[in-house]
Each structure stands twice: as structure tokens, then as C-alpha cells.
Amino acid sequence: MAVGTPGLPEGIAMEKFCYPSHMIEKRPDECYDIYRSILLVTGDPRSLVMIDKGTDSIVFLDEDSKRVFKVKRLDATKFLSNEGYVLLNIGYSSPLKIAPKVYAFNKYVVVMEYVEGTKFESLPELGLSQNELKRILCRIIRKAMLLDELMVNHGQLSRAYRHIIIRTNDHEPIFIDFGDSTITRKPQNLTSVWSFLHNKGLLRVISEEIDSLDFARSLKKKEETAIKALKEHCVSC
């Protein structure tokens, strides 16, 4: 049975924001901190609807403001502040729109813009022309390059089908899920994206030249010729 939570408007249940619910009694202080964090941003969280559930967090959409609330699971050991800092850094530093804009964050909650679109795994359903598909793939490669330049390693782009959203209004690819990201001198975003697109048979849409294993070896070694070739093929996207 849902239990009203002290400090929340009447009718708001503890189980809505603390997951899994059997952990509430074990971590009541963490529950309260999560609620306070949400209340500071929304004032009234009744408009929040759960839209996703992961191993470390649950995700809510505020249907009024169209903002996303990523909330730490009670049984997770990983806090969310790192993801907030990374998103903030990308937003300030990148000339391209790589990731959702972050509005507020602490170790329990990250509040960011809602990106309406289709996950990469559903790309065929969009019925894109060859030129539109090439533009999207080139934009993904350019953004992976930029992340490398920012020394941010996403950590999940070898399985990019779940971590890239194709925005509805302009088909712009937006990278999401920076929970495993790190700041490092040797980021692997470009090589991860190349491997993913190669395995999906999509690189040939851009150019046969960049779809060979020899090219992959050059790219992995950060050889200038490979980087230059990618830039030349994707510069106009």
C-alpha cells in the first residue's frame, strides 16, 4: 500500500521515487534526500511519470516542463554527480549539441532536458533517405571526435544503439546515458563508434574507404591519415 511521505504534497507516495520499495526502510535518509532534491526543482512532483528503469537509476519525465529526472536507485552503489558534471562540461565546452542540457544535479538526481526522438536501434523505422542517413552517421562520428578532444570517454558507445537518440524535429543524433563516463587522456569514443557502425554495416553508407579493418587499425593507433580521412568525409555534415 502506498504511504504518504512527510514533506510531500498529500497523495504523493514514497514508492514512486524510491526504488526498489523494499529498500525504503533500510535507507530512509537517502529517500528523504531524493524527495528534497526533486521538490527543490519541481515544487510538486505529481506530474512526474516513470519512463525508464536501469540497473543504477530510474528515469522520470515531468510532463509539464518536459524535463527528465534521473534518480539513483536505492540498491545502486553508484552516485549520479559524475554524470551531472560531465554533462555540464560538455554543454559548456562543445560547439556541437552532443548531449542533453543539464539543469541541476546532485549525487541522487540529475535534471536534464527531455530529448524527444527515436533510439538508434529503431533507425530503420524512420524511413530515411541515403543522404539523410549519411548525415546522421557523419554527425555521430563528428561528435565522437569532439568527445575525444574533450577527454570525455562515454563508456557505452560500442553499444550505441541504446545510447544515441535521433531527435524528432531535425534528426540530430544526441548522446545519452553518461553514467559510466570518465575523464581520461585516452578516450575511446571514436574507435567505439567506428566499431559499432562497422559491425552494423553502416560505415559503407559514408565511404568504402573507412570501412576496412586496415583503416580500423590506423584509427586505433590514432594515425593522422585515418583521422583526416574521417574529417574529410564528414566535414560537410
Residue 4 lies in a domain: no
Q: Mark whether 227 and 144 lie in a shared domain.
A: yes
Q: Mark whether 102 and 123 lie in a shared domain.
A: no
| Cβ atoms of residues 234 and 141 within 8 Å | yes
Q: In this predicted model, what pLDDT tens digit does every residue of 120-174 receive, in sequence order?
A: 999 888 889 999 999 999 999 999 999 999 999 999 999 999 999 999 999 999 9
Q: Mark whether 71 and 147 lie in a shared domain.
A: no
The helices-and-strands tally (H runs, E runs) of the chain is 7, 10
Q: In this predicted model, what pLDDT tens digit does every residue of 50-109 receive, in sequence order?
A: 999 999 999 999 988 889 999 999 999 999 999 999 999 999 998 899 999 999 999 999
Describe the crossing of helices 213-220 and 189-199 by its angle, rounded to 10 degrees. 170
Q: Mark whether 188 and 88 lie in a shared domain.
A: no
CATH of the domain at 44: 3.30.200.20
Q: Mark whether 221 and 135 lie in a shared domain.
A: yes
Residue 100 lies in a domain: yes
Residue that is last in its domain, among 82, 113, 144: 113
Question: What is the count of structural domains for the chain?
Answer: 2
Residue that is last in its domain, among 53, 81, 113: 113
13 confidence band (pLDDT: 50, 70, 90) = low
Q: What is the CA angle 111-113-117, rounded to 5?
A: 135
How crowded is residue 82: how many other Cβ atoms within 10 Å of its Cβ? Answer: 18
pLDDT, residue 1, reads: 29
> Beta partners for 51?
none
Residue 216 lies in a domain: yes
CATH of the domain at 147: 1.10.510
Q: Are strands 57-62 and 67-72 parallel, antiparallel or unpaired?
A: antiparallel
Q: Mark whether 125 and 106 lie in a shared domain.
A: no
Q: Mark whether 139 and 53 lie in a shared domain.
A: no
Q: From its phi and psi, is residue 85 left (phi > 0), alpha (psi between -120 and 50) or beta?
A: alpha
How crowded is residue 113: how many other Cβ atoms within 10 Å of its Cβ? Answer: 17
Q: Mark whether 106 and 140 lie in a shared domain.
A: no
Cα dihedral sign, 99-110-102-44: positive
How crowded is residue 115: how many other Cβ atoms within 10 Å of its Cβ? Answer: 19
Residue that is last in its domain, among 61, 91, 113: 113
Residue 1 lies in a domain: no
Distance of CA 176 to the CA centre of its chain: 1
User: By residue range, what is the domain housing residue 108?
Assistant: 14-113
Q: Nearest-CA neighbor of 120 among 177, 163, 158, 153?
A: 163
